[in-house]
Amino acid sequence: MARIASVTTKMTRTRPVLRRPGRFSWADVRQGLFFLDCRAARAAAGTVGAIGRGGRFRIWSETGEDLDTLVQDLDAAGWSAMADVLAGDPPSGPSRLMTFDNREAFAAYHRPLRAYRLGPFACISGWRSPRVAVCREEVDCFPSEVRDALALALGYTLAQARVRASSPKWVLHGLTFRVATRVAWATRAPGWQVRFLRAALFRGELATAVELFDQVDELFAEGSNADGRTDLGWLRFAAQSASLIDFLAETNRPKWDDFVARLSSTRDPLQLCEAVFRRFPDDLIVDWVDWFRQRDPGPHLEPPPTVRTEIDRLTGVIRDAAGPTSARMAAIRRLARGGHAWGCRAVIEVVDNDNVELSEAAVRALEDISGERQGDTASAWSRWLADLPVNAAGS
- Please tell me the pTM assigned to this model: 0.80
Separation of alpha carbons 382 and 286, rounded Å: 34
Name the residue among 328, 337, 280 with its Cα closest to residue 307: 337
Q: What is the pLDDT along the chain (395 residues), one digit of tens a residue?
A: 344 333 333 333 444 444 455 555 656 666 777 888 888 888 888 888 888 776 667 888 887 666 777 777 777 777 777 778 887 666 655 678 888 888 888 888 888 876 766 666 676 755 555 677 877 776 655 545 667 767 777 777 778 777 776 678 888 888 888 888 887 766 678 899 999 999 999 999 888 887 887 655 444 443 343 333 345 677 888 899 999 999 999 998 999 999 988 887 887 888 888 899 988 888 999 999 999 999 999 999 988 887 888 899 999 999 999 999 999 998 998 888 888 999 999 999 999 999 999 999 999 999 999 999 999 999 999 999 999 988 888 76
Strand ordering across the sheet containing 116-118: 50-54, 57-61, 95-100, 131-135, 121-124, 116-118
Within 8 A by CB and 6+ apart from 296, the residues are 191, 194
Domain boundaries, the chain: 29-239, 305-393
Q: Using an 8 Å Cβ cutoff, are 67 and 51 in contact?
A: yes
Name the residue among 136, 148, 245, 133 with its Cα closest to residue 188: 148
